[in-house]
Amino acid sequence: MKIFRLTTDNHMVIVSFMPAVADNLFRALADPTRRALFERLARDGEQTVHALTGPSGVSQPAVSKHLVILKRARLVHPRRHGRETHYSARPQALTPLVDWMSLYGAFWRDRFDHLETLLNRMDK
Amino acid sequence: MTDTPASTHSLVIEREFPHAPEKIWRALTESNLIQQWLMENDFEPKVGHTFNLRMPPVQGWNGVIDGEVLTVEPQRVLSYTWGSMGLKSVVTFTLTATATGTQLRMEQSGFPSTESASYKGASYGWHAFLSKLDQVVGGLK
């Protein structure tokens, strides 16, 4: 996952994501059924479409369709075995979300600078 | 499924200021002072008080953070919830007097972790917010 960081003065950080990758990721995670499928794979490990269909409450074609979208976002990895495809979760694809923390890190450091300025001003 | 408790990450920022805890406490809790270093707000240091922090809106994000005061221990601990765009976290300030001033620790907890992959709500907003990130950060001045 590509994240560009440009540090400017005063600890400001500008972050932008590769649009296509981010679009796919956020679109994939916007749907509760897909989040549930992804979480299940992350929790229980590799599974076939057939195994995933049972508890999901949606039809097999619908599950397949959701998996395509998850695959496009690189959230799941397909592995062909015989006549079936086994899917596993790729949690590392979530890096942009975890990088939310980096954003807030920059945000708070910047705010602390402002706080310091304010505290000095309050002395007078 | 997305409402189950998730394992989460915390962000910690610490800095020592050459100022007394009393003064830092004021800057953390008085609305007009908060506005000068953090954001516009209607904050009150009362447990249960709900408030907004506001920054200039950008396309796709209204610039509003929703908060509720959780802990008020004068000159020691202040914490409140921090909700925005489907991500709810908790911000906790801890003040510790030192020989030369005050150690201020800010912990923001509740960031989703890679392991849990659990997101609160967030059926919208991530993309809108993140794609406008540079504007948001740039608009903080």
Q: What is the pLDDT of residues B49-98, one digit of tens each?
A: 999 999 876 545 577 899 999 999 999 999 999 987 667 889 999 999 99
Amino acid found at A55? P
Tell which residue, A79, A85, A86, A73, has the closest CA to residue A34: A73
Question: In this predicted structure, what is the pLDDT of residue A16?
Answer: 35
Question: B132 pLDDT exceeds 50?
Answer: no
Q: Number of helices (H) and strands (E) in chain B: give both, helices first.
A: 4, 7
B45 pLDDT band (50/70/90 cuts)?
A: very high
Are B140 and A107 inside 8 Å of each other by CB?
yes
Does domain A3-123 match CATH 1.10.10.10? yes
Determine the Cα–Cα distance for residues B92 and B89; give it in Å rounded to an integer: 10
Residue B57 lies in a domain: yes
Contact between B104 and A95 using a beta-carbon 8 Å cutoff = no
Predicted pLDDT at A9:
29
Question: What DSSP state is assigned to residue B121?
Answer: S
Give residue B73's domain range: 8-138
Contacts of A103 in chain B (CB under 8 A): 133, 137
Question: Cβ of A111 and B33 within 8 Å?
Answer: no
pLDDT category at B124 given cuts 50, 70, 90 is very low
Residue-wise pLDDT for B12-30, tens only, equals 888 889 999 999 999 999 9
- Measured between beta carbons, the chain B residues lying within 8 angstroms of A96 are 130
Report how many domains make up chain B.
1
Q: Determine which of A115, A122, A124 to mutate to test the interface with B (most B C-beta atoms within 10 Å).
A: A115
State the Cα–Cα distance between residues B89 and B73, nearest whole angstrom. 20
pLDDT (0 to 100) of residue A40:
85
B111 — pLDDT class (breaks 50, 70, 90): low
How remote is the C-alpha of A48 from its chain's centroid?
22
Q: What is the tens place of the pLDDT at every residue in A16-67?
A: 334 455 667 777 877 778 888 888 888 888 999 999 998 767 899 999 999 9
pLDDT tens-place string over residues B55-69:
876 545 577 899 999
pLDDT digits (tens, 9 = 90+) for A89-122: 887 777 666 566 666 777 788 889 899 999 999 8
- Complex ipTM more than 0.85, yes or no: no
pLDDT the model gives residue B9: 67
Which positions in chain A touch B111 (Cβ < 8 Å)? Answer: 98, 100-101, 104
Number of Cβ pairs < 8 A linking chain A and chain B? 122
Q: Say how far apart CA B96 and CA B20 lie, in whole Å.
A: 10
B129: domain CATH number?
3.30.530.20
Does B2 map to a domain? no
Residue B85 lies in a domain: yes
pLDDT (0 to 100) of residue A101: 62
- Compute the Cα dihedral for B113, B117, B120, B124 and give only its sign: positive
- Nearest C-alpha of chain B: how many angstroms from A43? 8
On chain A, the residues whose CB falls within 8 A of the CB of B11 are 101, 104-105, 108
Tell me if B1 is assigned to some domain.
no
Question: Phi, psi (5° rounding) for residue B93?
Answer: -100, 130
- Report chain A residues whose CB lies below 8 A from the CB of B94: none
Residue A6's pLDDT band, with cuts at 50, 70 and 90, is: very low
Cβ distance A53 to A59 under 8 Å? yes
